[in-house]
Amino acid sequence: MNPVRAGASHKAFSLDRIAAIASNTLTELTRLKVFYVLLLFACVLIGSSVLMARLSFQQEFQVLKDISLGAMSIFTSLLAIVATARMLPQDTEDRIVYTILAKPVPRFEYLLGKLLGVLLLLAISTLIMSALFLALLYSREHAALAATNRQMAGLPQEQLHAALQSIRDSTFNPDLLPGISVIFLKACLLASLTIFISTFATSQIFTVVVTVFVYFIGHLQGTAREFWLQGHSAGWLARTFLAVVALLFPDLQLFNLADEVVAGAAIPLAIFLKTAALGAFYTVIYLLFATAIFSAKEL
């Protein structure tokens, strides 16, 4: 217990510290039973099958994929916003933030650790939801293949093969994976944005409301931006408004590749990589903004 470590050199950046905060955050979120969202997701999947009773298998697969990916998108986004919005206010209220920052922990590391904890949670949730979705898709595919085999028992091999192939084509499509990755990236962006907003927000409710507002505007931003860039709008007031929307908000519509994937469009690698890079860029920028504000914040 002698003060032997005094004067030991301080590391300006430490992955160990960040990892400790991230894993602590993840544990905390897990304890909050946020994974009930996954249960809800499973219910949506099961519930959706009620809708499909009257559809043909191709229609059924399309609807199943749309519902699953749509639910995945809303659930990961909600999870990102709600889980992140409570972090800073909760830590301040519990005075945990004082105990952490009174250790030799730079504020940037604190925020990064917190964000990484949420991103881990989002990654785990996305993986579990994808697994549930793909398992359901696989079992439905098998059921459809078996039914087709039975119905077409007497018909020539070529026709049977074509029918089976068309079922396989309409179920799993490798482009689903980039589609799901982009859904995850959108959630990461939202988590980072939420941290940014919560560094200057006065309450948790304020953070959630503002982020949800940004979420909706973000889906419109693309339309506003293109309208502004093409110089259609006549009045300067309208033009200024469009410009502010275009500059202030992220284009969340760009992170919606899943719709097109389900409809059958192929996603070129370059497009996927650019979208991913944009998502990562946003996530980093918002974290830097958050750090800038949080570093000067009176706790």
Partner 1 sequence: MIEAAVVVTGVTKTFPVPFKRRSVLAVRDLSLRVDAGQVYGLLGPNGSGKSTTLKIILGLVAPTRGKAEIFARDSTEVASREAVGFLPENPYFPKYLTGAETLRFYGKLCGLSSRALTKKIQELLELVGLTSAGDRRLGGYSKGMLQRIGLAQALVNEPRLVVLDEPTAGVDPVGSREIRDLILDLKKRGITVLLSSHLLDQVQEVCDRVGILANGELVSEGAVNELLAVENQTEVVFEAGSEELTRQIEALINTAGGRLIDCRKSRKTLERLFLDVTLK
Partner 2 sequence: MKRFLLVLAATLLFGSVKLPAEHALFAARSELRLHGVPMDLSLREQIGQLGFIAALSGFRSLIADFLFIQAHVAWERTEWSRVLLLFRQVTTLQPRGVLFWDMAAWHMGWNASVSVFNDKSQPRLALRIKAQREYWDLARDFLERGIKNNPDQPKLYEALGRLYREKYKDHARASESFAKTAEQPGAPSYAKRFTLYELSYCEGREQEAYERLLQLYNADENERLPTLISRLKLLEEKLNIPLAERIPDRAH
Q: Is 250 in the site for partner 2 (CB under 8 A)?
A: yes
Token readout for 274 is 């650019």
Residues in the chain: 299
DSSP state, residue 52: G
Burial of residue 257, with CB atoms counted within 10 A of its CB: 0-12 exposed, 13-18 middle, 19 or more buried: buried
Check if the beta carbon of residue 241 is closer than 8 Å to that of residue 209. no
Please identify, using beta-carbon distances, which residue of 1 and 269 lies nearer to partner 1: 1
Tell me how crowded residue 241 is: count the other CB atoms within 10 A of its CB: 14
Q: Is 292 in the site for partner 2 (CB under 8 A)?
A: yes
Please identify, using beta-carbon distances, which residue of 31 and 54 lies nearer to partner 2: 54
Q: Is 94 in the site for partner 2 (CB under 8 A)?
A: no
Please identify, using beta-carbon distances, which residue of 20 and 217 lies nearer to partner 2: 217
Q: Give least dist CB 122 to partner 2, A.
A: 16
Please identify, using beta-carbon distances, which residue of 22 and 69 lies nearer to partner 2: 69
Of residues 222, 204, 224, the one with CA closest to residue 212: 204
Site string for partner 2, 158-187 (x = CB under 8 A): ----x-------------------------
Cα 124 versus chain centre, distance: 11
> What distance in Å separates the CA atoms of residue 50 and residue 56, rounded to the nearest whole number?
13
Among 57, 108, 215, 294, binds partner 2 (CB under 8 A): 215
Q: Is 293 in the site for partner 2 (CB under 8 A)?
A: yes
Check if the beta carbon of residue 112 is closer than 8 Å to that of residue 287. yes
Instruction: Please choose, out of 78-86, 99-107, 137-145, 268-276, the segment that lies near partner 2 by the rule CB under 8 A.
Output: 268-276
Residues forming the site for partner 1 (CB under 8 A): 1-8, 10-12, 14, 16-17, 19-21, 24, 27-28, 31, 93-96, 98-106, 296, 298-299
